[in-house]
Structure 1
Amino acid sequence: MPQESSWRPQEAGVHQICYLLAQVQKPGTDQGQILQQLDQCKSYPDFNNYLAFIFAQGDSLPIEVRQSAGLLLKNNLKDHYAATTEEFRKYIKIALLHAIRSPSKPLRHVVGTNVAVIVGVGGMPTWPELLMSIVQCLESNDPNALEGALDALYKICEEAPVQMESEVPSEPAGTSQRPSNVLVPRLLALFGSPYEDAKCLSVSIMNLLAGGSPSALAEHMDRYLAGLFALAHDPSSEVRKPVCTGLVQLLHLQPERLVPHMHEIIEYMLESTQSGDEGVALESCEFWSAFCEAAVSQPETLSPDVLRPFLGRLVPVLLKNMVYDEYDEEVANVEAAEEAANCGIVLEDKDAEIKPFLPKGATRGEEGGEDDDDGEEVNRWNLRKCSAAGLDVLSTVFGDELLPIVLPIVEQRLREEDWRERESAILALGAISEGCVSGLLGHLAEMVGVLLPKLLDGRPLVRSITCWALSRYSHWVVQAGAEHNGPGQQQFDTVIAGLLTRVRDNNRHVQEAACSALATLEEVAGPELLPRLPAILKTMAAALAMYGRKNLRILYDAISTLADAVGNALAEPAAMQILMPPLQEKWTSIADNDRDLLPLFECFTSLAQALCSAYEPYAQATFDRCMNILTMQLAARSAAANGQAPQIEPEREFIICSLDLISGLAEGLGPAMEALVAKSNLRNMLVQCCQDVSADVRQSAFALVGDLAKVAPSHFAPSIGDLLALGIANLQPAMLHQESMSACNNACWSLGEIAVKLKPEELAPFATGIVERLAPILQNMNSMPRSIVENSAITLGRVAWVCPAQLAPHLGHFIAPWCSALRSIRDDVEKEHAFLGLCALLRINPEAALGSWVPLCEAVASWRMIQDEGLRNEINVIMQAFRANLMGQWDQYWGALEGPVRDKLAIMCGL
């Protein structure tokens, strides 16, 4: 144990802080003023020590005061532990280890939270006494010490699992041990504990460790599995829940371990999915999706045939679980909203109902970014949703085999008076839409005919689930609608009309479902929407006037999706007159620091791209607002970084969305963008953003750099060296990790866009540095995302095109992976630029290509059609020169190529 700390609390300080903490608990007090006084206490270097003392030693104080002290300590440690002196750290650690045995369960839980924070920030190796204390508690007869240690351990494994594999100093001096090696045997022994909490927590911790697959668990896997089986029928549902979780996780991680017992496990999970305890039923219900995923990913280990005999029993269980409970909280909320709407009462959206807005982030040179939000409310994951997800995945594995089981139940439920039964039937039809489509396709018109009247159902949840179910069949509805003047077109029109009616529903929950469904349909339909555009726009304009804050986000997304789907058709004067006035009203009514502005910015980004020159009447005001927000936010960010009080709260999302909207302007306006940026300070702001600590700010900044390089390159002239250097710096190996990969990708792409706008003498000082960053990416392409590999190949070609003499001597070092990457790039102007650079280097140093002859020829043969006549001639001349210069060796080189490659080159180059 650590030596006693020399720090001692002053009585006056303890009383003052206890008083403030007690005041916070009292109703009617000025909470803001009290919290401000507590915040002022942070200026005292030993404030956290006082909190630790009150929390751990304040036995005579109310539990609520001690709990508040512990929670405040946790928040402070999270932000300032690194700056805390070693002496103060020692005191806090001693206090926490003392309190881990507290008789109070709430206090023990706060101990665990603090311990996890310290371990997460400082690491287990810096606190060897913690491991010793946890071991002592696990072997103790004191149930409080046992539960306290397990709670702390669970939180460490949850928040900082890597620390369980660290080397922690131990006795004798100079030795170390891994926490997982020390703890796994003791945790497994606790599976037989007489205490319910100990069993529950020890199984849960082992499940977390299994996710990290430590070596210690591998040695004890048989014992772990046996322990789960032994607890499978424990009388406590709190114990059976983590048992089910552990079995589901093993199915993901090591299905071969479960295969010998699979029939028994399926029977157990089938029984548990019907448990009266929803927690057990939910955890076991996850098994069915996990089974299907394992059977698809590892068919050599686990065959779907194992589950097939159980489908007749399993599917009805899932369908039963998909019916709303009589007292479901979601039902109560939706029905209350319906009643309020029918009475003309408008319910305001609460902040808690609106999930935090996350910008999509601009991506360049990629086929797509991360999956974006579908705008749906973050509701509690429950048995109903889990069962529907399980049915969905089952249908993708077993396909039409499920229809004889599902359809009779669905048909019966659709006739039921109980709306919950009808709703679950529609949910089931949506769930099987993907997997059973071949069997359903012949009945699509009939099925849509059954669903459409449900859009008018008196129950809001039936209307909303019908919107969702129809959206699940969007692809086939649109496909049928493409048959002009046929019944499919009438059906398509009817579906759109039905969804548009529900977009204007009085119930906000139905609005949400209808708007999301419309966006899905828009994405699939594309140009097929053009004849229906006026009706869609009028509905959206009406919705802009009636929606609350939460649904406006989903509506903005639907408008963005529509802009992407129909493009410049929105620039027609009639379309502009319908959509832009209500959008402009929203634009002017929201303050610059209101987060409700962010999704509207994303919407305007899509509109600027789609409307092109038609957006010019709005361009100056849009640009000026973005610049104002950038100015305020960057100043606030700079002040906060320098320890000063910013005038506004710095929020990087405002920076990202402003940069992205200016990018949308650049893409839509083209060269007309020059007039907007000419008199602005945007260039210097971009230099600042390109070196921001936040990867997503850099991501959007580099996207804008590349977009402006295409349409307004003269604006960058004074800062071109800074931007090139920052782009190169963002491609350092240390930057190439998942969290910042999109920023690196955009930096890479922007370097190429800048390069083609520069004179050789301007680019020359940076050319070698760029290639030194790009070549390793190409050489390690198998471990890199496809987008950055392709952007690296294109940018390398663009730099080579401008500065061939500088790069040609080094061609042999990177031509093979470069050509391999070029081979997979689709035909477009960027690929043309890359090949112009390749040809420029081959003219100077053709010998460098001979060692990479096959990948070179495969890259040339990857073209379907070269649009640029000059490039076609260039490639032809170079390939003919190889044939002439190789002379007696030509047959050997030609014979090394695959037949299809030889055939393509013979056509392209006359070889």
Structure 2
Amino acid sequence: MPAVNKFFNKLIEKSVNHPNLKLISAIVILSYGFRMNWGEWRPQESILKNVEETLQLALVPNSEAQKTVQDRLNVMQNLTDFPNYLLFILGNSSFSESVRSLGGILLKNNILTVYSSLSQEDNLKFRNECLRLLKDPSREVRISISNVIVIIAKDHLKTWHELIPYLMKCFVSQDEHSEVALTTLFKVCEELINKQKPQEEAYPITHEVFPKLVEFVALDTCTIRQDIIRLTNQFLQDYFPIMKQSIDTASYLRSIMQLANTSDVDLQKYICHTFVIYVENQEECLLPHLHDIICYLMEKCQHDDQEVALQACEFWLATTKLSTCKDILSPYVDKLLPILLKNMKYSAAELNMIKDSLGADANNKDLSKDISPFHLKDRGNVGDAEEYYSDEDLDEQAEDFDDFYVGWTLRKCSAASLDSIAVKFGEELLTLLIPLISEMLRNSDYIIKESAILALGAVAEGCMNGLKNELPNLIRFLICCMNDEHSIVRVITCWTLSRYVSWIVNFHSENPEEFFVPVMTVLLKHFIDENKRVQRAAISAFCIFQEDSQMKLVPYIDFILEGFKYGFERFHCRSLYLLYDAIGVLAQAVGNHLSKEEYVSKLLPPLMKKFTELNNFYDDHFIAVLECLSNVIPSLEVAFLPFSETVYLHCLQLINDSLIACINYQQYPNEYDPPDKEPMNVAHDVLYSMALGLKTHFVKYVTNSNLIYLLYTTMQDGSNLIRQTSIALYGELIGLCYPFLASNVNDYIPLIIKNLDENVDGVCNNAAWVIGKLCSVMGSNIQQFLPEILNAFVHILRAPTMARTMHKTVAISLCIIFFVCPEVTVPEMDNIVKNCCMLVRNVRDSDEKDLAFRGLCSIILRHPEFNKTYFIFFFVTRLLHG
């Protein structure tokens, strides 16, 4: 054995300067290590000395020394018992404290590579040594072993039964060792939260640790309340139902309230958070203390520390989600509203963060933080799909442009709280609000004026009806504010105008010159504002304006495109991304009215110029242009033909390149980066849009390329979005060129059936839609695949959620099967047909719905027993079908 050790020691020394020896030494060390018996392990002096010298050298602040250390460690880390040496050094007081501590750091980084291979006996010895070192005289050693324990507990807490009781015992002892024991306990608990373990795995923590912590936090001798409450809050937030079984939540709340007068700012923040958690999860516990808690939180909302005020403000937002909100807040709303309005001002910190973007910066290039694109929609969901754009998406986007990189602040939380309170209280809030907001608007401080305009936008949804008589003057006032000298006022005015768009669009629609045209004009005008934040806010508000206006925009398409034209000429990256979204919303709103030659000649050249000058498929700007095209092409229809070949070839190349990148990464993961699949997803989207817009003109591209074969691969991709868009495109091709697909359609159907997974809505919806399309063209030839299809459909329809588009699509396709294959039967036929009736009647009229209704008629005629119980459902469907 000494001879082996000597040989090994020399290998370590020589391999540092001889690269070819590194591999040899690694192999020898590895094989030597595997022959070791961990139960009989003893450190070899020569190796131990070498490890110690390496650790000593690591403490030398010299680049050459550090390189030598790294080379040595690269060799040592191949030794399977290297962690043993580190643990030996860490636990031996004969070494210097700095060497021991550094050994602990290396042990933390290496332990998981060998820990799982330990025998049960060695595992126990290792753990016992870890626990022993938690009481080492050296605080640095205790901290190092604490980190090792946390790493092990990440994946092995369930089997380390003695760990939690031991940490609790050390913690309760309140001696010099208890601090690190408590820190270890906290880290173990936080790891459990961060990994989102199932509730049963949290059980030992919640049932063993928290009763003690809750008991301890009420003691006068407790010196770590802040940490305990912070940790308890984290667990309450994630595991309140099972925490209720472990601790007396009412008693804990009383303990928290007794601490409320603390001067500790962090503790105040955690106490406020506790109240928020309770109102979200167990409001009845708060009722006996409600007055005191609300008064406390209103006071903390005015705290000088913004984090304390923000945490207190979260309470109002959480309360508005309760059915009892009005009962809880009514006695206090007159005091609460002034506080919320005051907190809607920009703070000094927020103004400092946006100070560089307040002036005339339209000609400055975007900073790196400004150029991440916005993706407005989730495309590729077909069948009886919902609208691509939702008001919520657009509202969120609008708010993003009000300091999108500042984050969640007291200002935003206060505005959101006012919004939600206004929805709950409605117009009865206006008696209190109007005098307060009017006074703010008259204030000479533009910061206060800006917050008043924000408040006007915040109450729009809840108080619109009560403001009806005031809205004409309010809209005129807001139009005037769009010319304010301060950019932050113009920014928030854009957003507030967008909140009243539904009224603007529908007010005296026979006289659009009164409000419709002036608002449209002022927003378009500020597309070319001298301030980029105003530009973005105006575009975002205009997207919402277009979404609400729909066909009312048709007479003004030329005027709108002029505004877009100036945007193409002047915008930088971030504003350009929004312009692409605005173009997409216009296309969705006006449909094929956009296909007139004079409109196409204004819109397509600048858009295609951007498309062709961007040669990097993975550039965010290129993806944004692609997304814009995917929105526009269906509206342009055959007017897009002159540009179609260029776009088609780019998309095909993009998909080809992405699939090659995927293959390279799968085969050589160490040599290639994981591929970015978003461009491939958007390329599918564009091709799907071309199929929709060009219809039969698209067939020549399909038949003269390898698109169908590419789809065979992408329909099996690991990404849900890729499969969703790929299946949608295949489904559209069925209607356009089924004869071309027919020769190998049987290879594709199993892939489609495999995607009938109700847990992935979009993919399942599209797969079900494609099956309906296939049935309509294949007829009874689809018979061989029906057992699998029917099993999947019945499983989904047994408990339909009426709001889900996917269930409607499945019902339509099943009824088409009934039509083309009238002899099929399914389990629980009566109940399934009843569900189909309920789902189909809410679907828009289409060829698919017509076939589905015929299928319903066919199946009901052949199952007269259905009439006894469920005929009323078919009868209502018949009436609605017309």
The residue number in structure 2 matching 1:615 is: 640
Note the alpha carbon deviations across 1:7-43, whole angstroms, 9 max, x for none. Answer: 98988789889999999x99xx9x9x99x99999999
Using the TM superposition, give the Cα deviation of residue 690 of structure 1 relative to its aligned residue in structure 2, in angstroms: 2.1
1:477-496 to structure 2, matched below 5 A, reads 477-480=504-507, 482-484=509-511, 489-496=513-520
Using the TM superposition, give the Cα deviation of residue 284 of structure 1 relative to its aligned residue in structure 2, in angstroms: 0.9
Q: Distance in 1 between matches of 2:85 and 2:693?
A: 56
Name the SS for the 1:804 alignment partner.
coil
Q: What number of residue pairs does the alignment pair up?
A: 821
Q: Distance in 2 between matches of 1:12 and 1:639?
A: 41
User: CA 1:685/1:328 → structure 2, altered by over 3 Å: closer, same or farther?
Assistant: same
User: CA 1:568/1:562 → structure 2, altered by over 3 Å: closer, same or farther?
Assistant: same
1:144-155 to structure 2, matched below 5 A, reads 144-155=179-190
Q: Distance in 2 between matches of 1:428 and 1:67?
A: 55
1:584-599 to structure 2, matched below 5 A, reads 584-590=608-614, 591-599=616-624
State yes or no: 1:318 paired with 2:345: no
State yes or no: 1:527 paired with 2:551: yes
Counterpart selection for 1:686 from 701, 711, 718: 711
Using the TM superposition, give the Cα deviation of residue 393 of structure 1 relative to its aligned residue in structure 2, in angstroms: 1.0
The residue number in structure 2 matching 1:874 is: none
Using the TM superposition, give the Cα deviation of residue 842 of structure 1 relative to its aligned residue in structure 2, in angstroms: 4.0
Q: Distance in 1 between matches of 2:147 and 2:493?
A: 43
The residue number in structure 1 matching 2:863 is: 846
Q: Distance in 2 between matches of 1:363 and 1:854?
A: 35
Using the TM superposition, give the Cα deviation of residue 195 of structure 1 relative to its aligned residue in structure 2, in angstroms: 8.9
User: CA 1:334/1:206 → structure 2, altered by over 3 Å: closer, same or farther?
Assistant: closer
Q: Distance in 2 between matches of 1:21 and 1:838?
A: 80
Using the TM superposition, give the Cα deviation of residue 619 of structure 1 relative to its aligned residue in structure 2, in angstroms: 1.6
The residue number in structure 2 matching 1:514 is: 538
Greater radius of gyration (CA): 2
Mapped contact 2:482–2:522 kept (Cα < 8 A): yes
Name the SS for the 1:712 alignment partner.
helix
The residue number in structure 2 matching 1:898 is: none
Mapped contact 2:812–2:836 kept (Cα < 8 A): no
The residue number in structure 2 matching 1:542 is: 566
Structure scoring higher RCO (CA < 8 A, sep ≥ 6) equals 2
RMSD: 4.2
Identity percentage of aligned residues: 26
Once the two structures are overlaid, the 10-residue window that deviates more, 427-436 or 180-189, is 180-189
Counterpart selection for 1:183 from 204, 209, 219: 209
The residue number in structure 1 matching 2:194 is: 159
Counterpart selection for 1:572 from 589, 596, 621: 596
Q: Distance in 1 between matches of 2:728 and 2:76?
A: 40
Q: Distance in 1 between matches of 2:880 and 2:447?
A: 57
The residue number in structure 1 matching 2:279 is: 251
Name the SS for the 2:513 alignment partner.
helix
Mapped contact 1:504–1:542 kept (Cα < 8 A): yes
1:321-720 to structure 2, matched below 5 A, reads 321-325=343-347, 327-329=348-350, 331-339=351-359, 341=361, 346-351=364-369, 354=372, 360-365=378-383, 366-368=385-387, 372=393, 374-375=396-397, 376=400, 377-480=404-507, 482-484=509-511, 489-590=513-614, 591-644=616-669, 649-720=674-745
State yes or no: 1:742 paired with 2:762: yes
Q: Distance in 2 between matches of 1:742 and 1:7?
A: 60
Counterpart selection for 2:870 from 824, 842, 855: 855
State yes or no: 1:280 paired with 2:308: yes
Mapped contact 2:524–2:538 kept (Cα < 8 A): yes
Note the alpha carbon deviations across 1:673-724, whole angstroms, 9 max, x for none. Answer: 2111112222222222222222222222222222222223234334422322
User: CA 1:143/1:131 → structure 2, altered by over 3 Å: closer, same or farther?
Assistant: closer
Using the TM superposition, give the Cα deviation of residue 448 of structure 1 relative to its aligned residue in structure 2, in angstroms: 1.3
User: CA 1:854/1:221 → structure 2, altered by over 3 Å: closer, same or farther?
Assistant: same
Give TM-score, length-normalised by structure 2.
0.83
The residue number in structure 2 matching 1:235 is: 263
Once the two structures are overlaid, the 10-residue window that deviates more, 43-52 or 149-158, is 43-52
Once the two structures are overlaid, the 10-residue window that deviates more, 744-753 or 711-720, is 711-720
Using the TM superposition, give the Cα deviation of residue 315 of structure 1 relative to its aligned residue in structure 2, in angstroms: 0.5
Using the TM superposition, give the Cα deviation of residue 800 of structure 1 relative to its aligned residue in structure 2, in angstroms: 2.3
Q: Distance in 2 between matches of 1:114 and 1:608?
A: 58
Q: Distance in 2 between matches of 1:547 and 1:668?
A: 29
Counterpart selection for 2:817 from 770, 795, 799: 799
Q: Distance in 1 between matches of 2:334 and 2:519?
A: 33
Name the SS for the 1:502 alignment partner.
helix
Give TM-score, length-normalised by structure 1.
0.80
Mapped contact 2:87–2:107 kept (Cα < 8 A): no
Once the two structures are overlaid, the 10-residue window that deviates more, 520-529 or 183-192, is 183-192
Using the TM superposition, give the Cα deviation of residue 564 of structure 1 relative to its aligned residue in structure 2, in angstroms: 0.7
Q: Distance in 2 between matches of 1:68 and 1:340?
A: 51
Q: Distance in 1 between matches of 2:581 and 2:81?
A: 47
Aligned AA (2:309): A
Mapped contact 1:633–1:652 kept (Cα < 8 A): yes
Q: Distance in 2 between matches of 1:307 and 1:688?
A: 57
Using the TM superposition, give the Cα deviation of residue 565 of structure 1 relative to its aligned residue in structure 2, in angstroms: 0.8
Using the TM superposition, give the Cα deviation of residue 93 of structure 1 relative to its aligned residue in structure 2, in angstroms: 8.3
Q: Distance in 2 between matches of 1:214 and 1:501?
A: 54
User: CA 1:673/1:240 → structure 2, altered by over 3 Å: closer, same or farther?
Assistant: same
Structure 1, unaligned stretches of length 5 or more? 168-176, 868-911
Aligned AA (1:555): L
Using the TM superposition, give the Cα deviation of residue 334 of structure 1 relative to its aligned residue in structure 2, in angstroms: 3.7
Aligned AA (1:781): P
User: CA 1:52/1:39 → structure 2, altered by over 3 Å: closer, same or farther?
Assistant: closer
User: CA 1:627/1:229 → structure 2, altered by over 3 Å: closer, same or farther?
Assistant: same
Note the alpha carbon deviations across 1:640-696, whole angstroms, 9 max, x for none. Answer: 233445666401212221111211111111222211111222222222222222222
Aligned AA (2:758): L
State yes or no: 1:776 paired with 2:795: yes
Using the TM superposition, give the Cα deviation of residue 830 of structure 1 relative to its aligned residue in structure 2, in angstroms: 2.5
User: CA 1:646/1:842 → structure 2, altered by over 3 Å: closer, same or farther?
Assistant: farther
Using the TM superposition, give the Cα deviation of residue 95 of structure 1 relative to its aligned residue in structure 2, in angstroms: 9.9
User: CA 1:553/1:115 → structure 2, altered by over 3 Å: closer, same or farther?
Assistant: farther
Q: Distance in 2 between matches of 1:231 and 1:162?
A: 31
User: CA 1:22/1:479 → structure 2, altered by over 3 Å: closer, same or farther?
Assistant: farther
The residue number in structure 2 matching 1:896 is: none
Using the TM superposition, give the Cα deviation of residue 736 of structure 1 relative to its aligned residue in structure 2, in angstroms: 3.5
The residue number in structure 2 matching 1:876 is: none
User: CA 1:95/1:793 → structure 2, altered by over 3 Å: closer, same or farther?
Assistant: farther
